[in-house]
Structure 1
Amino acid sequence: MARSSPVFEQPKSFRASRRWGRGYTVETTDVVVIGAGFAGLVAARELGRSGHSVIVLEARDRVGGRTWTNHALGHDLELGGTWVHWVQPHVWSEMTRYGREIVRSPMAEEAYWLGAGAEVRKGTLADFTALIDEGQRQIIADALAMIPRAVDPTVGGITERDQLSLQQRLDEIALDDEARSANESVWVGHVNAPLNEVGLSSALRWASAAGGHWPLMHEASATYRVVGGMSGFTAAIAADVPGDIRLNSTVTAVEHDATCAVVSLSDGRQLRAQRVVMTLPINAVDTIKVTPVLPDAWVRSNRERVASQGFKVWIKVRGRLPRFFAYASQHHAISVLKSEFVEDDHTILVGFGADHRAIDITSVEQVNAALGVWRDDLEVIGVAAHDWMKDPLSQNTWMTHRPSQLTRDLSELQQADGVLHFAGCDTADLWGGFIDGAIESGLREARLVSASLAT
């Protein structure tokens, strides 16, 4: 995308540059932001508007990070983050700022799920809601006791329960096989991982953010899309950044000391900055060599990996179908399926699964076979997806913690390491893992960086 925003003139105290062996000039700037997703763009905008010179380095050929509106299967499809809601204050503020509107995903006319013997059940939205209600209420029943204030997700009873997995919590609840399978698959749609690898905290913090109401939490997670797409949204923010956004700029190393950092790119160029804001997800921070090494929490979390390891796939099937959703079990290749676009001659479905290795999401044949768990009358004629687990710049979908990771690591992950600052949905307090969380962290770090430069 073309950029016309000016690069700010460097302060005299930090304007010196030098030539080095390959003939490049080492540029200087107040702040380098690594990554042009929501967190990086918001941080750069705020810092630039506070009078600091900012250069954003983005390895991809686009802005948006793990949000990406791509035209495929005849539609503008969100290959990454999709849904927003007015109970998410940071994203809603940005929606208001840039005049973005929302559209509701289709209300289902039919529902499919699996019975106790794996036989297919068919009913209505009300039927399925009644089936999962008890389990959903019990899973998050103590959300407000465990996390009394959603903006402080590591404070409260969660410190004593964070070692539990979401699966362990489900196993504590007396449910019949049909209700258990349905409840488990519903949560796969939220956490994008096998439930025994996901911390209970992931469910409780989102429920707390929704006031302890499970229907509101579900609505906030998967109901309203942004008109014009996420790429249009991030482009609007990018156009508001009073600094330089450089695409196709892969950072390979960051060397830092108490006063500045030198950022090296894959093409040999270097930039010197007084502060660096890193926005890479936990799973991908090791793609940049940082000297001295990152804080222990980053190294430990990167080694363990976060829990999310699933996928999202768009599926084009022949014919105009009644709007429906379907849930299998967490052990099926595709656990969650629902209609998003219904046309005269085709229907576009979106599916989610817990394990990206369970299916080739680029294969029409494999996806078609996976849909057979619910229906044998669907003919897949196209698929579209991006495997974020295989993407070296993300290596996960969205943040879901493993047991104990939230309370053990979050506060340390938020702390600056000298001139290095960290932003992204992985380090958010309120809606961690969501676009709202990315924006929250970008605002936070911009404020802290600006304050540190003023001293």
Structure 2
Amino acid sequence: MHISMRPTHSVVSDWNSNPLFGGVYSFLRPQGTPDDRQRLAQEILPNLWLAGEYNWADGPGTLHGAVFSGERAAHNVLAQGNAAQQVIVIGAGLAGLSAAQLLSQQGYAVTVLEASPFVGGRARSDSSMGVSVPLGGAWLHGHQSHPLASDVSHVAWPNWQPVNTFLVDHGQISNACVERVSALLARLESHWNTQTGLSLSVAEARQRSAEENALKPENAADQHVLDGWIRFAYSSLISAPLHELSVEHREEPYFLTGQNHLITGGLPDAIARRAAGLDIKLNQQVLALEKSASQWAVRTRDGQTLLADHVICATPVTALRDERLHVSPSLPSDVQRCLSNIGFGKVAKTFFRFPERCWGDRLGFLITGPTAPPYETFVDMTQVTGSPTLCAFSTGENALRAEQRSPEDRLNVVSELLIRAQVR
């Protein structure tokens, strides 16, 4: 019986091509340390606070990091003890909504300014395929104490199985290949763990390992598998280009208590509940913050100026780091340094609906080759959509290309890749 490898529908994220974001989530660059995240969690200028996954050092890059950072910023405002004051929150993602909700519950006058037409930020979902799919965050990293656990439906998600790796023009790798490359990767990781205090990137540390320890694969196929596994571990899961990611801080803590769970539904409703009753102004991109003697003047792209006693900036780190949001007086030099030490990675998610499950009973698999394929990591999202669906992850420059492809091209490219990798 012929099984079709060509999907019928697709939808893709826009985090990399959207100038309001320019990426997905944060990582530490070679000069960076967790102290940079901690500094950005403190007061930046008088009555100016930041919120977002990038300054939650115990869970950067996560949904819970965004929620907890927003609540922390709100508590910092509450500590000032004056509910008659006006608060402006910039950004209606999970961090901004969590901050605004807590302050509003305590009687503060809160206005949320959101640059896009939507709330939810990088936790936004898309329903253009007829069912809601998460374009951004989709996992509960530790389901027992996660702030969204009671708001969404979710299922336990097993660990990735390395044997579910496919080589372009070759097919699924053997158990012997898994053993060889696993051993090599373990030795590499062990060597990288000794590279402390050197401000090296993962790419630099890998080159040094090869030179100092001759840690090289036995053959070209093993090399391609090793490359794919390293990209999976860091370029995909951490979202970081290997030449930008700190080898010393390449694996930051991000798990709460419990297991890794996939969100299967309810995320849009959970975001809507957090937004309910708040004064949210959409399509209001903030361009500048200017501090006078007693208040902040918040200036938007359409020429409005709003005054606030406190400001919580809950935008992606790039807005301040790349000075798309101008702050006067200038940010302190240590804050600027901390911002520059935090990178913002590129990962795109493309959902493909198929006539049938052409990937068998696998819940996930990896495709690699001599160069990084246009789609590398695949996760079965059938439990989310109710029909055969794969979510394909693209990294680096491939992430931007994935978002810029036409709908027809997306279907053709992934179909050809699955056929060449002999996924079945």
Tell me which interval the TM-score lies in, with the shorter structure as reference length.
0.5 to 0.7
Whole-Å separation in 2 of the counterparts to 1:249 and 1:65: 14
1:315/1:351 contact within 8 Å kept: no
Query: Tell me, what secondary structure is at the counterpart of 1:224?
Result: strand
In structure 1, what is the equivalent of residue 316 of structure 2? 281
Query: Tell me, what secondary structure is at the counterpart of 2:354?
Result: strand
In structure 1, what is the equivalent of residue 281 of structure 2? 246
Higher mean C-alpha deviation, range 337-346 or range 174-183: 337-346
In structure 2, what is the equivalent of residue 86 of structure 1? 142
Change in Cα spacing, 1:234 to 1:141, as seen in structure 2 (3 Å) is: farther
Whole-Å separation in 2 of the counterparts to 1:308 and 1:251: 23
Whole-Å separation in 1 of the counterparts to 2:202 and 2:171: 25
Q: CA RMSD in A?
A: 4.1
Whole-Å separation in 1 of the counterparts to 2:386 and 2:110: 49
In structure 2, what is the equivalent of residue 225 of structure 1? 262
Whole-Å separation in 2 of the counterparts to 1:107 and 1:210: 14
1:340/1:350 contact within 8 Å kept: no
Letter in 1 for 2:227: S
Following TM superposition, by how much is the alpha carbon of 1:40 offset from its aligned partner in structure 2, in angstroms? Answer: 0.9
Whole-Å separation in 2 of the counterparts to 1:142 and 1:260: 52
Match of 2:171 among 114, 121, 127: 121
2:378/2:390 contact within 8 Å kept: no
Whole-Å separation in 1 of the counterparts to 2:250 and 2:367: 19
Matched, 1:165 2:165: no
In structure 2, what is the equivalent of residue 442 of structure 1? none
Higher mean C-alpha deviation, range 243-252 or range 34-43: 243-252
Match of 2:124 among 56, 68, 78: 68
In structure 2, what is the equivalent of residue 184 of structure 1? 230
Give the number of equivalent residue pairs: 322
Change in Cα spacing, 1:65 to 1:128, as seen in structure 2 (3 Å) is: farther
Following TM superposition, by how much is the alpha carbon of 1:308 offset from its aligned partner in structure 2, in angstroms? Answer: 1.1
Matched, 1:38 2:73: no
Whole-Å separation in 2 of the counterparts to 1:291 and 1:135: 51
Following TM superposition, by how much is the alpha carbon of 1:76 offset from its aligned partner in structure 2, in angstroms? Answer: 1.5
Match of 1:327 among 341, 347, 367: 367
Higher relative contact order (CA 8 A, sep 6+): 2
Query: Tell me, what secondary structure is at the counterpart of 1:184?
Result: helix
Following TM superposition, by how much is the alpha carbon of 1:72 offset from its aligned partner in structure 2, in angstroms? Answer: 2.9
Change in Cα spacing, 1:295 to 1:128, as seen in structure 2 (3 Å) is: farther
Matched, 1:347 2:389: yes
Partner deviation per Cα, 1:54-79 (whole Å, 9 max, x = no partner)? 21111222211111111133332111
Identical-pair percentage = 21
Whole-Å separation in 2 of the counterparts to 1:106 and 1:364: 32
Matched, 1:103 2:155: yes
Change in Cα spacing, 1:43 to 1:131, as seen in structure 2 (3 Å) is: farther
Following TM superposition, by how much is the alpha carbon of 1:198 offset from its aligned partner in structure 2, in angstroms? Answer: 2.1
Whole-Å separation in 2 of the counterparts to 1:122 and 1:378: 7
2:141/2:255 contact within 8 Å kept: no
In structure 1, what is the equivalent of residue 111 of structure 2? 55
Letter in 1 for 2:87: V
Whole-Å separation in 1 of the counterparts to 2:422 and 2:226: 26
- Output the TM-score relative to the length of structure 1: 0.59
Following TM superposition, by how much is the alpha carbon of 1:178 offset from its aligned partner in structure 2, in angstroms? Answer: 4.4
User: Deviation above 6 Å: which 4+ runs of structure 1?
Assistant: 106-110, 126-129, 301-305, 342-345
Following TM superposition, by how much is the alpha carbon of 1:301 offset from its aligned partner in structure 2, in angstroms? Answer: 6.9
